[in-house]
Amino acid sequence: MAPNIQSKTQTQFNQIEQEENDVICKFGVITDAQFANCEDRPAWYNKDKRRYYRGAITHLRKAFNHWDSMKVKPKFVLQLGDLIDGLNNEEVGCNSLDALEETFKLFEEFSDIATFHAVGNHELYNFSRTDIALLFRESLINRGKLNPEKVHLQLNFHSSDLSDENTLLYYKFQPQQGIKVIALDTFDVSIIGHSPDSLKYKQAAEILSKNNHSCLSKWDYDEHLEGLNKRFQTQNGGLSENQLKWLKNELEESEKNNEKVVVYGHTGLHPDSCDASCLAYNYDEVLKIFSQFSCVICYLSGHAHTSGYSVDENGIHYIVLHGIIETCPSSDAFATITIKKDQLIVDGKGSEMSLVLPINTMKRKTTETVDMEIDNEFINEERSENTDKFNDYEEIPGTSSIVEVSV
Ligand SMILES: [Zn+2]
């Protein structure tokens, strides 16, 4: 049966969200803060958009104040990458460590809600893979209050064996029985974060050159690329064979244990959820793995600076968050996600969208294509004919759209 997306009023949505009796797990999500202690400026790719570099801290504080004030606080927060901007490493007067410290101080202030990090491209403009892995661990475990054993946190790098190639930034944790959270490293195979003489750099360079992108010094350069090939850009990356194997093993284990799995990473995975320029190089291999299991309920990502949503034929939801950096500091850019037995509720504030989604844990269908019908008062007529995605939501002024999807 085709899923049907229907609009909800704010009152209806609040009622659904506040029905706490069947809540399994609640967590917060933020992305693309891109903090830098420098002046605001228009986005390089669209002069109508503005980047509020210092406003990132205001956004983070408002998000945590909100979560801290909730009757039932989120168990944890997922930070989907690009916490600080690459400008920190380039501009006089900005400093990568100082910028990261500003954000860490805030997470420390609210350390009863542990913040887990995914690596973004901007992390790797500022730090080596090894350094960012250690810094994130420092924030989460040493300076935070997290007891890694309590949430079965399993990082995939060891202090005794650190090099940029050995530092694996994908990991898992289990905040409670029945829920597993998997962080993907969408820059595992990339020319950023690895030295040019490393195997993974060479693999990434080969992927780029095979796909008509031979100028490795050019960023955000896709004029000569078409369609899905727009993902083959230097600021993106992919998952290594080893990471894919690890992911498959984790999902196999979750399937056996009847767990619900939330997966997150920086770049997009589903072509209908974001622009092709924001997808992981081998997104299709990840989707193929997802399709073999019924435990994955959603994949969360940032990187696109535009809200997006799609659902695949297996009922897995792909949610792309708009993020902080291009959201005016007087607004908000965060979401609270509630997992219920049969529903996934995304309560987006400010530039983030709100969704009421069904959780499909029935055996996956791999062949049926599902079309979606959109009936949403907030989507203009032209967009409502686009039946399988909600991209460009942020261009609809003053809305925080609430939609319900039923399969
Ligand atoms: Zn990014």
Among 189-203, 282-296, 365-379, where is mean pLDDT lowest?
A: 365-379
Neighbours of 118 (CB within 10 A): 28
3-state DSSP of 196-222: CCCHHHHHHHHHHHHCCCCCCCCCCCC
Residue 393 has pLDDT above 50, yes or no: no
CA 294–ligand 1 middle distance (angstroms)? 29
Task: Report residue 405's pLDDT band, with 50, 70 and 90 as the boundaries.
Answer: low
Domain count, the chain: 1
CA 209 – ligand 1 centroid, Å:
21
**Strand pairing category for 46-51 and 154-156:** unpaired
Expressed in angstroms and rounded, the spacing between residue 305 Cα and the centre of ligand 1 is 8
- The Å distance, Cα 252 to ligand 1 centre, comes to 29
**H or E stretch including 61?**
helix 55-69
Amino acid identity, residue 152? H
Q: How far is the CA of 235 from the centre of ligand 1 (A)?
A: 8
Q: In this structure, which residues have their CB less than 5 angstroms from ion ligand 1?
A: 82, 120-121, 303
Mean pLDDT of the chain: 85
C-alpha 1 to ligand 1 mean position (Å): 35
- Cα 342 to Cα 4, 59, 215, 262, 303, distances in angstroms: 16, 31, 47, 14, 28
Confidence band for 381, pLDDT divided at 50, 70 and 90: very low
pLDDT at 205 over 80: yes
**Per-residue pLDDT reduced to its tens digit, 260-269:** 999 999 999 9
User: Residue 84 C-alpha to ligand 1 middle, in angstroms?
Assistant: 10
Tens of pLDDT along 210-236? 887 666 666 566 666 788 999 999 999
Q: How far is the CA of 317 from the centre of ligand 1 (A)?
A: 20
Question: Cα(272)–Cα(281) distance, rounded to whole angstroms?
Answer: 15
Confidence of residue 407 (pLDDT cuts 50, 70, 90): very low
81 C-alpha to ligand 1 centroid (Å) = 7
Whether 173 contacts 197, CB under 8 Å: no
3-state SS assignment for residue 122: helix
**pLDDT at site 378:** 29
CA-nearest of 374, 267, 382, 375 to 321 is 267
- Name 63's Cβ contacts closer than 8 Å, sequence gap at least 6: 28, 30, 77, 332, 333, 334, 349
Percent of the chain at pLDDT > 70 equals 80
* Ligand 1 geometric centre to CA of 368 (Å): 32
Q: Measuring CA to CA, how many Å separate 257 from each of 247, 260, 295, 384? A: 15, 9, 9, 40
267 CA distance to ligand 1 middle (Å): 7
Query: Ligand 1 centroid vs 89 CA: distance in angstroms?
Result: 15
| 188 Cα: distance to centroid of ligand 1 (angstroms) | 14
User: What pLDDT digit, counting tens, does each position of 131-145 carry?
Assistant: 999 999 999 998 888
Q: Read off the pLDDT of each residue in 149-170 and give the average, rounded to a whole number.
A: 85
Cα of 243 to ligand 1 centre, how many Å?
Answer: 20
- Residue 223: the pLDDT is 63
Share of the chain above pLDDT 90, in %: 70
Residues 6+ positions from 118 with CB-CB distance below 8 Å = 78, 79, 80, 81, 169, 183, 184, 185, 186, 264, 265, 266
Rounded to the nearest angstrom, the distance between the alpha carbon of 72 and the centre of ligand 1 is 31
**How many Å lie between the centroid of ligand 1 and the Cα of residue 302?**
7
Tokens of residue 116, six digits: 């887990």
Q: Tell me which residue of 318, 320, 316, 317 sits closest to 304, measured CA to CA.
A: 320
pLDDT of residue 373: 31
Model pLDDT, residue 402: 61
Q: What is the pLDDT of residues 291-331, one digit of tens each?
A: 999 999 999 999 999 999 999 999 999 999 999 999 999 99
Of 49-63, 94-108, 384-398, the range with the lowest mean pLDDT is 384-398
Query: Cα–Cα distance between 364 and 9 in angstroms, integer?
Result: 31
> Above 90 in pLDDT, residue 156?
no
CA–centroid distance, residue 337 to ligand 1 (Å):
21
| Residue 70 pLDDT > 90 | yes
Instruction: State the distance from the centre of ligand 1 to the C-alpha of 121, rounded, in angstroms.
Output: 5
The span from the CA of 247 to the CA of 52, in Å, is 36
Distance 404 CA to ligand 1 centre (A): 28
* Band (46; pLDDT cuts 50, 70, 90): confident
| CA dist., res. 223 & res. 173, Å (int) | 40
CA distance 173 to 20: 24
Q: 33 is in which domain, residue-wise?
A: 4-406
Q: Can you give the pLDDT at residue 385?
A: 32
Residue 301 CA to residue 310 CA, distance in Å, equals: 12
Which CATH number belongs to the domain containing residue 377 in this structure?
A: 3.60.21.10
Spatial separation of the C-alpha atoms in residues 126 and 74, rounded to whole Å:
30
